[in-house]
Amino acid sequence: MEVTEEQRKELTVMSRSLKLESRYVVRSKVIMLSSEGKTLDSIIQATGLSRKVVNKWRQRFKLFGVAGLKDAQRPGKAPSISPEQKTMVIQKACSKPAGGYTNWSQSRIAKEIGISQSRVFQILKEADLKPHKIEYWCGKSPDPEFESKMVNIVGLYMKPPENAIVLCVDEKTQIQALDRTQPELPLKAGNPKRLTATYKRNGTVSLIAALAVHTGEVTATTMKSNNAANFLSFLKRLDRSYRNKKLHIIADNLSVHKDKAVKEWLSHKRKVKLHFTPTYSSWLNQVEIWFNILTKDVVKGGIWKSSDQLADQLMEYVDTYNKTRAKPFEWTYTGSPLKI
144-179: per-residue pLDDT in tens? 999 999 999 999 999 999 989 999 999 999 999 998
Strands 164-180 and 272-276: unpaired
The answer to whether 279 touches 249, Cβ cutoff 8 Å, is no
Instruction: State how far the Cα of 76 lies from the Cα of 308, in Å rounded to an integer.
Output: 70
What's the predicted TM-score (pTM) here?
0.65
pLDDT tens-digit series, residues 166-218: 999 999 999 999 988 887 777 888 788 788 888 899 999 999 999 999 999 99
| Per-domain boundaries in the chain | 5-69, 83-126, 146-324
Instruction: State how far the Cα of 161 lies from the Cα of 246, in Å rounded to an integer.
Output: 9
pLDDT tens-digit series, residues 56-84: 999 988 888 888 888 876 666 655 677 88
- For the chain, percent of residues with pLDDT exceeding 70: 96
For domain 146-324, the CATH superfamily is Ribonuclease H-like superfamily/Ribonuclease H (3.30.420.10)
Q: How many CA atoms lie within 13 A of 215 on its CB side?
A: 14
